[in-house]
Homo-oligomer: A and B are copies of this chain.
Amino acid sequence: MGGTKNTTTRVGKASFGVSKCTRPARAGLKPDSPVNLDQGDPTMFEEYWRKNKESCDVVIGGSELMSYFSNPHIMCWYLLPELEDSIHRLHSLVGNVSTEGRHIIVGSGSTQLLQATLYALSANSPQPVSVVCAAPYYSCYPELADLLKSGLYKWEGDAYNFDKEGPYIELVTSPNNPDGYIRGPVVNRGDGKVVYDLAYYWPQYTAITHQLDHDIMLFTFSKSTGHAGSRIGWAIVKDEKVARKMLKFMEVMSIGVSKEAQFRAAKILGAICDGYEGFRPIDTENFFEYSKRLMIERWERLREVVNQSEIFSLPKFSQEYCLFSSEFTETHPSFAWLKCKEELKDAQSVLRGQKILARSGTKFGVDPTFARVSMVSREDVFNAFLERLSAPKGAVSNGNQA
């Protein structure tokens, strides 16, 4: 036992011996530093996994997971069987989508898979296929579609304004990033393909009202459990030809996906299922109850501050019956989509004046009276956000000039 202990080394001091990943304590937020809520880094879930730290450890030996291949007998040859199992298991538990008989393609986050999808749906097209999404749309879509100036597909903006002839791909984000609303396609033409980005279709964010069964559905480890650093996403794909083309993209662009990340994702997703299946230690709250409770608390606190501010407003959501929790619940999105009074014009600037970094509505295809703020930061950062948002109005008007 002493021997084991002696060979354990900490991060940053690589040496022959077991390396246990333990990060140094984070420095607290300084009063004059901006609160950065521009990105949606889902660090609020760290606390849950810290409580379950010991029981969710993964250990990988030096000679494990070395090959490019995981399973030569399935289409997605780099997919670890245990990750495939955990994905099926979690969706079956939550009931958010059907995975029965579907192809699962894993990527470096759903970001990479979205590109794989664009490629798969446009690979045989003589002209660039139009890519659209109803505004406000996720701010990364335009750049993701246009970065390489592909001759296969081209970003054409807001789906509500789309009137070009020819084939198109509509991205449907539901619940939507940035505003949290449940969505369906808006173009609805015969020559279109619809890709569902379901990153937030989990019980902590919204009611699970249907078991979805669309042609192409994308998920990510980042938003489901908070493990953004792993860069694991998965696509659930009905059509074999589409799945094969996505796989082609994954082969050419990165020859598969990190096995370490897959192994850990399999463990974490499996641990959530274990909890619901009675294998968990009894003093631990299950993940979706814990995370939903926190989201509700944060949203209640935010709505209180916003109601008092007289400057901002927030989207309103109706109660829906959740098949997973067997109760009525409303949506508690991962982002707050703040709208400032019309006369203030620029929500991002108003927030910047209060030392809050947000993302302007202009990045999402709408006007600058909107701004998006992450709701899934660490607790101290969220507290600082609310404090600053409830600052006296003098500070606000100063900020607006900044």
Q: Which residues of A contact B (CB under 8 A)?
A: 1, 7-8, 11-12, 14-23, 39, 41-43, 45-50, 52-70, 78, 81-82, 85-86, 107-109, 111-112, 115, 119, 140, 143-144, 147-152, 222, 226-232, 249, 252-261, 263-264, 266-271, 273-275, 279-281
Contacts and interface: CB of A to CB of B under 8 A. Distances in A.
Contacts of A49: 61-63, 66
Given A12-B81, A85-B14, A258-B260, A46 B61 contact: no
The 5 closest A-B pairs by CB, nearest first: A14-B270, A56-B62, A149-B151, A49-B63, A260-B260
B112 A252 contact: no
Interface of A is mostly: mixed
A66 B46 contact: yes
Contacts of A148: 119, 148, 150-152
Contact of A62 (B15, B19, B52, B229): B52
A60 B57 contact: yes
Of residues A66, A107, A256, which shows the largest number of chain B Cβ atoms within 10 Å of its Cβ? A66
Contacts of A273: 14
A21 B266 CA distance: 11
B55 A7 contact: yes
Contacts of A1: 1
A267 to B, nearest CB: 5
A15 B271 contact: yes
A65 B53 CA distance: 12
Given A149-B150, A252-B147, A63 B82 contact: no
A16 B261 contact: no
